[in-house]
Amino acid sequence: MIKRFIIAFILLVLVVGGIVGFNMFRDQAIQQYFANMPVNPITVSTVKVEPSVWTPGIEAIGTVSASRGVDLTVETTGIVKEIHFKANDLVEEGQLLVRLDDAVEQADLAVARTKVALDKQALDRALELQKRGVGTEATLDAAQAAYSSSLSQVTKLEALAEQKLLKAPFSGTIGIPRIDVGQYVAPGNTVVTLQNLETMRTDFTVPEQQLGALKIGQPVTFGISLDDLPYKGSITGIDPKIDPVSRLVSVRAEVSNPDSRLSPGQFIQVRVELPKEDNVIAVPQTALTTSLYGDYVYVVAPAEKKADPAPATPAGDEKPGEEAKPAAPAEDAPALVARQAFVKVGRRFGGLVEITEGVKAGDEVITAGQNRLSNGAPVKVDNTLTPELSGTKQDVAQ
């Protein structure tokens, strides 16, 4: 009985030991497999950090208006008789735009001109009689006074008739007519708007702290967005008074508008260019990641060679007189890895961000693909599809 029990116990120990040994062998094999399994590198695009010339600027939002623009109105009441323009016509200075009914004024003017002709004849006769010695000074003076009065009356009636005509005060683009033929109009009622769109002006404000950086003639760029500033101009006026409520300074700049894309009343992005700065470190904004711990970028660095733990001889298994073999270097170690670098950022503009601390010239910064990265992850550089920047390193805002 005892013998059978011992045999059963030995068999049980052998079975349990076999199971435990198999599990240990399996776990070791799995561990060795994953340890030696190559890690697929993540494809990223990079850019090499280089010092560049930086153009700081003051950014603002301005309102566009025409350098010369008015809402035209008539000088007197009347019925619209003729309209000599269409919407968006280019008109010249002095061109007739609207004629009111001036039949009465023209009739009065004709009478006055007839009287001028008669008074001129009377004056000529008085002068002839004066030359012959048969006319008196009183008759000549009366004739001259009558003629001068008639001329003055004609001038007055011509001015009244001229008030029935609306002419362009300067060359420009005419707007949509707000009247129709036969309509009764009165002074103060806007007939049409006239704008000179070749040269525009932009009014904007800047903080009082930046007033010292502004001067007349300073170059300014304009555009619909900060990523595209195709229009050029210069500062033409700086308000000498600072608004005590908003602490802002009003500034006016002129801008050329050759393609007439800018319209009066439109909002526009303004950037006043400041003196250039040399040796500034900048990277694309796509390279920058913001977290609760701060801003950081990923820098490509050579991978550190790691020992492969699988081939190492376990302690105690070495032969007598033979030392344990160290692990062989891993042959499949990635060539490049991503290293996380926390940075301090400065100004931004045109898709670039200034880095004041954290990276240096010569570093290779990852610009795309970093959303899948972690510190130390293997990477493969492929710059065939590099994100395009809307600006250049020569254009950076303050």
DSSP string, 293-346: TEEEEEEEEEPPP-B-STTSPPTT-SPTT-PPPPPPBPTT--SEEEEEEE-EEE
Among candidate residues 189, 261, 205, the one with its CA nearest the CA of residue 238: 205
Question: Rounded CA gap, 100 and 128, in Å?
Answer: 44
Q: pLDDT per residue over 27-53, tens digit each? A: 887 777 666 656 678 888 888 888 888
Mean residue pLDDT across the chain: 82
Report whether 359 contacts 46 (CB < 8 A).
Answer: no
Q: Which value, in Å, is the radius of gyration of the alpha carbons in the chain? A: 45
**DSSP label of 188:** T
Task: Specify the DSSP element, H or E, that contains 49.
Answer: none
> So what's the pLDDT on residue 180?
92
- CA atoms within 13 A of residue 71's CA, in its CB half-sphere: 7
- Residues 100 and 74: their CA atoms lie apart, in Å, by 9
Residues forming beta bridges with residue 78, ordered by sequence position: 185
Please say whether the beta carbons of 269 and 222 come within 8 A.
Answer: yes
Tell me what pLDDT residue 308 has.
52
Q: How many CB atoms lie within 10 A of CB 123?
A: 19
Number of other residues whose CB lies within 10 A of the CB of residue 128: 11
The token pair at 189 is 């009622």
At residue 73, the pLDDT reads: 92
Which of the 8 DSSP states describes residue 258?
A: T
Of 398, 359, 395, residue with least CA distance to 54: 395
Reading the block at residue 193, the tokens are 């708007």
pLDDT, mean of each 10-residue run, the chain (398 residues) = 76 80 80 67 85 83 88 92 91 93 90 91 86 80 89 91 91 91 90 89 90 89 83 90 91 86 87 83 86 88 65 47 46 71 84 85 85 83 65 42
What is the full DSSP assignment across 214-254? --TT-EEEEESBTTB--EEEEEEEE-SS--TTT-EEEEEEE
Q: What is the pLDDT of residue 55?
A: 78
Up-side HSE of residue 95: CA atoms within 13 Å toward CB? 16
| Adjacent-strand bridge partners of 91 | 172
The helix/strand/coil state of 157 is helix
| Exposure b/e, 266-299, CB count within 10 A at least 16 = b | eebbbbbbbeeeeebbbbbbbbbbeeeeebbbbb
The confidence score (pLDDT) of residue 36 equals 64
- pLDDT single digits (tens) 205-261: 999 988 888 889 989 988 888 778 888 889 999 998 899 999 999 999 998 887 778
On the 0-12 / 13-18 / 19+ scale of CB atoms within 10 A, 343 is buried
Query: Tokens for 28?
Result: 């070791």
Q: Global pTM?
A: 0.56
